Chains A and B, each alone.
Chain A
Amino acid sequence: MKASLKIAGLILIVIALFVRAKVVERHESLNDGKQAVIEFPAEIKTIIDNKCYGCHSIKGESDDAKAALMWDSIPSYEKAKQVARLDKIIEVLTEGTMPPKEVIEKWPEAKISEAEARVLKTWAEKTADEILN
C-alpha cells in the first residue's frame, strides 16, 4: 500500500514537471520575437475601456468594428500587424473620426476628449516606435 502510494506520488510529480515544462515552452514560443510585448498603462486602459471597448471587443455588436480592430488581439499579433493596427489608431485619432458620430449621438459619454485622444495617440506612437526600433 505504502509503496504504491509512493509510486503514484512520483508519477504525479513527473507529470506536474512535464506539464510545467510544456507551459513554459508555450509561453516562450509566444515571445520568440514575432510579437512585441505591449504595455497598457492604467490611464490608457481606462480610456480604451470607456471610449473604444464597447465596439472594439467581444462585447461589440458591429462586425465591421470588430473586423477593423479588436484591442484584446493586439498583443497576439505579429509585430508588423501590431504596428499597422497602431498606425490606424493614430490615424483615426488624428482625424477625429472615432468614436463615430452616430455612436456619440446615441451615447454622448462615448465622445473622446481632446486630452484623452492626445494621451492615447502619444501612447500608440511610442509603442509603435518601440516595436520598430
Chain B
Amino acid sequence: MALAGILVILQFIPSAVPENSAVNNGDIILNGNAEQVADLLKDACYDCHSNQVDFPWYAKVAPASWLLARDIKKGREHLNFSEWEDYSKRNKIGKLESIQEEVTSGAMPLKVYTLMHKEARLSTAQVEVIKAWTEELTNRIME
C-alpha cells in the first residue's frame, strides 16, 4: 500500500523525456549512407541515438521514465543518427570508429535496453555487418 502510494507520488515529478522530431533531413538512412544496416540501426540503436524513438508504454511511468530520459539524452549527445549529415567529416570518422568499438566489445546496445528489447540483441554476424559498414563508410568519407 505504502509502495503504491510512493509510486503514485513519483508520477508527479517531471521526467523531461526528450521529444521526437517528425522531419529529420540529416538522417543517415534517409541520405543513403546506411542502406545495408538500416534495419539493424533502427532496431538496435535508434531508440537512444536518433530523434525517432519508439517509446515503450513505461516511457511515461516514473521511475522508468527517468532512466529512459537520461539514456536518450546522453545517447543523442554522443551520437544522433537523425542529425548525421550535420557532423563534420572528422566527427563522422571518429563516431564510426566508436560505433565499431562499442558493438564489437558488446558495450552497445546497453544490457538494460536489450533486456527489454529482444530485437535489439546483436548476433555475431550482425556485429560483423555493422563493422563492415563502418569501414566502408569511413573509406567513402576519406576519399
Contact = CB atoms under 8 A, between A and B. Distances in A.
Contacts of A81: 97
Interface size class of B (residues with CB under 8 A): 10 to 19
Given A81-B97, A84-B97, A128 B138 contact: no
Contact of B94 (A84, A125, A129): A84
A3 interface: no
A80 B90 contact: no
B141 to A, nearest CB: 8
A80 B94 CA distance: 9
B108 interface: no
- The prevalent SS among residues of B at the interface is helix
Interface residues of A, number: 14
Interface stretch (A12-20, A40-48, A86-94, A107-115): A86-94
A79 B91 contact: no
Contacts of A84: 93-94, 96-97
Interface SS of A by simple majority = helix
Nearest to B139: A80
Contacts of B91: 87
Of B90, B95, B141, chain A has the most CB atoms within 10 Å of the CB of B90
Contacts of A79: 142
Contacts of A120: none
Contacts of B117: none
23 contacts: A80-B93, A80-B138, A81-B97, A83-B89, A83-B90, A83-B93, A83-B94, A84-B93, A84-B96, A84-B97, A86-B90, A87-B90, A87-B91, A87-B93, A87-B95, A87-B97, A88-B94, A88-B98, A90-B90, A91-B94, A128-B90, A129-B90, A132-B90
Interface of B: 89-91, 93-98, 138-139, 141-142
